[in-house]
Structure 1
């Protein structure tokens, strides 16, 4: 075409040739990453058991990663073309914009980033019995923004992932065994040996107990009008709550049947009488 001239000699110089090759490789990598990020995320979601990532959250994460890759590709392109002044201007502007946006969405971003760390670290999965902060229950749902726990009392607690990530987590489901720890207070008039033997019999008869682990039974405290006995043994973690409740009920029934008296709270009241002292009246004058 007339009016258009291409200086092939200039373009074929080694300096420009390497730049063209660098641009081609850079944007080839960008194209591959943008094209296959969604597939990688889908496979990751399928492989990680017990983690539910919402479709919308998956799409959002995919777009954010695409934008990040494209932005990096643009910066690399500017660096390859040796546009240093433009690069500095863009980085300065990007820094200011990032600070402004960061203040505006810092809570959302913190939850999102914490969700990714929870996804990778997996301190718990769906169905685990956990204690996070003051809340104990079963994990119902894990997303990139929040974690839902069904408490043992019934209500559902939705906790931001930024809170979850910075709070100590107790996971009762990681270890397949959990210790039953029950205390029983008996009155001081009760036969101590008979009470200890009754507790031992009830613990040994518990079929859901792990037989390989010994039963611990001892006097743990002596206080006003009561002797406190403690019985401990291990049971499968999934049955811990049921075993604890059933054993507590069996203890009350068996103690009543054998005439072993359980201690009841003793309340002491004190009556204090304050006598008001009256000063004698004095007559002034004659």
Structure 2
């Protein structure tokens, strides 16, 4: 029994000594941390002050850049990119300065090196997204279209609703929204129906071989002058073929709107006015006329 009590006392002493050593190590560590914090307290306060003031100034710089760009720079997409870059660079400078005060600049350098490697890996993984952003930047410089203009890209046609760095949004004539990646926009032909402010319609038809051709031409040109929106100075009436029973003609008409619905209404009105004028003047139309829609180009 005495031996058992002796062993128990020895084990208790060992546990107590180990616990005492552990508490001493914890106390030393806490004292080291407290002394380190006290020693770095001025630097911590200065770094915190730099972060607060720096972020405030970065926001002011961003707002100032936005106001200046809105006045002198009319490309909103590219302007937003420049503003974002200015803000990110300013925040980066503030953070790096604060870390340097805390003697953590080597840590941030190592982190940036690691981030660079990760960035390269992400660039390969998301190269399609990166291609869309780069295409958006190039489109911002070229500016082949603006918001509100009627355009056609591949099989998509409509009004430009929104232009962003990653994609372009069209609203079709049926009221549908189409989001096209800027890579597709950049790599394909773009037809802008609005930019020139006019568009051409080719009207073809035929009159009887017994008709007075000079009268046909005069009646047609006079009828076109009554159609609002037709640019009569650039209208051309041409006889182009002698068929079996008709003499075929073509009228090259420029209308003062490149957008689809006004344009369709224009050449519909042209056909109505010409047909009525021919009938009123006794000019026979053996076959119905047809309209051929063409892109904006000079005759």
Q: What TM-score range do you get, normalising by the shorter chain?
A: 0.5 to 0.7
Return the match for 1:229 from 239, 243, 249.
Answer: 249
Structure with the largest fraction of helix: 2
* Cα distance change on mapping 1:32 and 1:116 into 2, 3 Å: farther
Structure 2: segments with no counterpart, 5+ residues: 1-34, 40-52, 290-299
Q: Which residue of 2 aligns with 1:216?
A: 236
Q: List aligned pairs for 1:17-56, cutoff 5 A.
A: 32-33=57-58, 35-38=60-63, 40-41=65-66, 44=69
Partner of residue 285, structure 2: 261
Match runs of 1:1-286 below 5 Å: 32-33=57-58, 35-38=60-63, 40-41=65-66, 44=69, 66-71=87-92, 92-176=113-197, 178-186=198-206, 189=209, 191=211, 193=213, 194-211=215-232, 213-221=233-241, 227-237=247-257, 239-256=262-279, 258-263=282-287
Residue 76 of structure 1 and its aligned partner are, at CA, apart by 9.6
Residues 142 and 183 of structure 1: CA distance in aligned 2, closer, same or farther (over 3 Å) = same
Change (3 A) 1:264 1:205: closer
How big is the shift at 1:124?
2.0
Local SS of the residue matching 2:147:
coil
Q: Which residue is equivalent to 2:25?
A: none
Unaligned runs of 5+ in 1: 6-27, 266-286
- Aligned pair count reads 237
Indicate if the aligned counterparts of 1:112 and 1:145 stay in contact, CA closer than 8 A. yes
CA gap of 1:153–1:63, structure 2 versus 1, over 3 A, is closer
TM-score (norm 1): 0.59
The TM-score, its normalising length taken from structure 2, stands at: 0.57
